[in-house]
Amino acid sequence: MKKRTLVSQVMSRDITAIHRGMRLSEAYDFLRATPFHHLPVVEGRRPVGMISSSDFLRLVYAAEATGTTPIARLLDDRYSVDDAMSSEIRSLPQTATVHDAAELLSDGEAHSVVIVDDRGELVGIVTTTDLVRYLRDQSR
């Protein structure tokens, strides 16, 4: 892997994000309709968290949902996006390198890094899949 390649060359720029003020059932439906496993949560254009399908499962199990309570109602009645998201996100500036992103994800605890501009606004996301594809392409 070339250590000097900028992360902006491998990041996804077409970002799908969930807004912090959304009803949780809307965020759940939004995530289910995408091919992604996790999505950034933004307030304006600034990333404030990350939400995943496993975050929703955790809340549903914690609420001891019954088969008679619709998931959407359960989520909206008891929780907010803030309750579901992880606020400990990993981020890098768009001037960081691919090596920096790989280093940040190498512990295996996270599978994505949000990329921000100099104002702290979301401009991209790099996933472990993006890094594997980059590595594959380097060996051709």
Centre a 10 Å sphere on the Cβ of residue 124 and count the other Cβ atoms it contains: 21
Identify the band that residue 65 occupies on the pLDDT scale cut at 50, 70 and 90.
low
Contacts of the segment 41-46: beta carbons below 8 A, 24+ positions apart: 41/17, 41/81, 41/85, 42/17, 42/18, 42/122, 43/19, 44/121, 45/121, 45/122, 46/116, 46/120, 46/121, 46/122
Q: pTM of the full predicted structure?
A: 0.84
Task: Give residue-wise pLDDT tens across range 115-128.
Answer: 999 999 999 999 99
CATH fold for domain 7-138: CBS-domain (3.10.580)
Task: Inform me whether the pLDDT recorded for 1 exceeds 70.
Answer: no
Q: pLDDT tens digits for 9-38?
A: 999 998 889 999 999 989 988 888 888 888
* Helices 71-78 + 24-32 axis angle, to 10: 140
Q: How confident is the model at residue 54 (pLDDT cuts 50, 70, 90)?
A: confident
